[in-house]
Structure 1
Amino acid sequence: MNAHITPPAAAPLPAPALRPVRSAALFTTGALGLAGAAWVLRAVWEVRLSVAGEPASGPPDQGGGTHRALNSLEDSYHFVNTAGGFAALLCAGAFIGWMWRIRDNGRALSGVRPRYSGIWVYLGWIVPVVNLWFPRGIIADAYLASTPGAPGARVPRSLNVWWGLWLVTMVGGVGLIYTDSTDEIIGRAYDDVWQLLTADAAVVGAAVAGIFMVRAVTAVQEKAAG
């Protein structure tokens, strides 16, 4: 007789609580602005190097592991480049922290498990091939999950602009992703500064688009949270 008794359904797991996102968004947009400003400064120094022209002694990296002494302008570019690296590192940390929060909030608002597990918030940037779309996918999913009742909801245009410019800096081997040493970049400024300036423009554009994208995603989550 007991075999015909239906066991009680398991109680659903409580939805995760919304995480505050405004402060993280403000810090992230500030870090993006700082990184963009750092790359503007790099571009200014690269133009200065190009205008000054290569010294008679040749480029700083003279091949075969030989490096000549730097002049004052080249030495200051090393400082500017190092400062830009610290700005990029700060920006990366702030951005990943913000991504983690909006992913969790998207799950809390929609009640649906995200397509990408949490580890991809970090690894999605560095694992080859998947880094071409995972970070954008995580943000897009969080945005759409925050608008569960909106038919035909679309991701912000700024998300696609930001990601397109980021891919330019990554796939093109320029911008943020340099394999050359600083001395080799100085040599490129002397020989082909326009390639460097194009890369710098892509980084600055990505930073600006990123600011608008962070604000748009944050705003929709705050609105959904009431």
Structure 2
Amino acid sequence: MIEQTDRAVGPTPSCGPVQVTGRLAAGGLLLAGLAWIVRAVWELRLALAGEPASGPPDQGGGVHRPLDALENSYHLVTSVGGAAVVLCVLLFLSWLLRLRDNADALSGQAPKYAGIWVYLGWIMPVVNLWFPRGIVADAFRRTAPGRKLPVSVEVWWVLWLIGMLSGVGIVYRDSTDEIIGRAYTDVWQLLASDAAVVGAAVAGAFAVRAVTAVQVERLRRGPQPQEEHAPAQPAGTPAGA
């Protein structure tokens, strides 16, 4: 199976898809970043407008007061932003699968992580702290043994973790109404988390472009027999990568 894939490697057909999926994934990340900037603007607008005399939207005990126009528009903004994030996820996973498949064909080595972790690695507690980054790093190192992982990958992952673990960023524990209540009282906490998410999106776009460029360069050279017989784990690969 690997031999058949290797014979097909080259500017066509493998090089084209990874370039296209890489561009789409980078675009999806930037779109998600833009959606989070809009959210931040609306949160700042809520803070500047001040909490209504009737109190926060979530009154506690399952009671919610009617929303004003600005609060309703924030719900719309978060819904549109959520759709942008879903699109970003689909585009990123499409790129990651292509990157991983190409790395398999180029190296002739089994990937470090089973294919199911491309999906579960993002949502499974504990392992989601390093598996997604590890999958990208593993594909990169099998594509270009001995080359250093782009710094943008590390920046992307650190900012992603900050946004995810902050509780008000990528993974919200609170409802939208509760987030509105936070905007009235703790807007700077929200804005700091938003900044981490936006930074992660921008760094992620650079990471996708950098990793894709290395694989495109490698694909254009075609399979190298001396690399196909290289050890499964290149020297210097971090144990947790």
Q: TM-score, normalised by structure 1?
A: 0.91
The reply to whether residue 101 of structure 1 matches residue 75 of structure 2 is: no
Q: Which residue of 2 aligns with 1:83?
A: 80
Question: Which position in structure 1 is the counterpart of 2:208?
Answer: 214
Where 1:140 maps in the other structure, the secondary structure is: helix
Q: Tell me if 1:65 matches 2:62.
A: yes
1:198 aligned residue (192, 199, 203): 192
Residue 173 of structure 1 corresponds to 167
2:182 alignment counterpart: 188
Give the 5 Å matches for 1:91-170.
Answer: 91-148=88-145, 151=146, 153-170=147-164
Paired with 2:47 and 2:171, the residues of 1 have a C-alpha distance of: 21
Equivalent residue for 1:45?
42
- The one-letter amino acid paired with 2:199 is G
Any conservation in 2 of the 1:140–1:155 contact (CA below 8 Å)? Answer: yes
- CA contact 1:121–1:135 (8 Å) conserved in 2: yes
Say which SS state the counterpart of residue 54 (structure 2) adopts.
coil
Matched, 1:225 2:214: no
The 3-state SS of whatever aligns with 2:84 is helix
* Distance in 1 separating the partners of 2:165 and 2:55: 30
Q: CA deviation at 1:73?
A: 0.4
Query: Structure 2: how far apart are the matches of 1:80 and 1:13?
Result: 46
Superposed displacement of residue 190, structure 1 = 0.1
Report the residue type matching 1:76 in the other structure.
S
Distance 1:107 1:193 in 2: 46
Residue in structure 1 matched with residue 52 of structure 2 by the alignment: 55
| 1:62 alignment partner, SS class | strand
Contact 2:47/2:184 (CA < 8 Å) preserved in 1? yes
SS at match of 1:135: helix
1:203 Cα deviation (Å)? 0.5
1:193 positional shift: 0.1
Q: Supply the AA of the counterpart residue of 2:155.
A: V
The 2-side partners of 1:107 and 1:51 are apart by 53
Q: Which has the larger radius of gyration?
A: 1
1:174 aligned counterpart, secondary structure:
coil
Q: Residues 13-36 of structure 1, C-alpha deviation per residue, up to 9 Å, x if partnerless?
A: 525354320111111111111100
Q: Which residue identity does 1:157 align to in structure 2? A: V
Q: CA deviation at 1:172?
A: 2.1
Find runs of 4+ consecutive structure 1 residues off by over 6 angstroms.
none
Q: CA RMSD in A?
A: 1.2
Give 5+ residue unaligned stretches, structure 2. Answer: 221-241
TM-score normalised to structure 2 length = 0.85
Deviation at 1:117, TM superposition (A): 1.0
Q: Separation in 2 of the partners of 1:124 and 1:65? A: 34
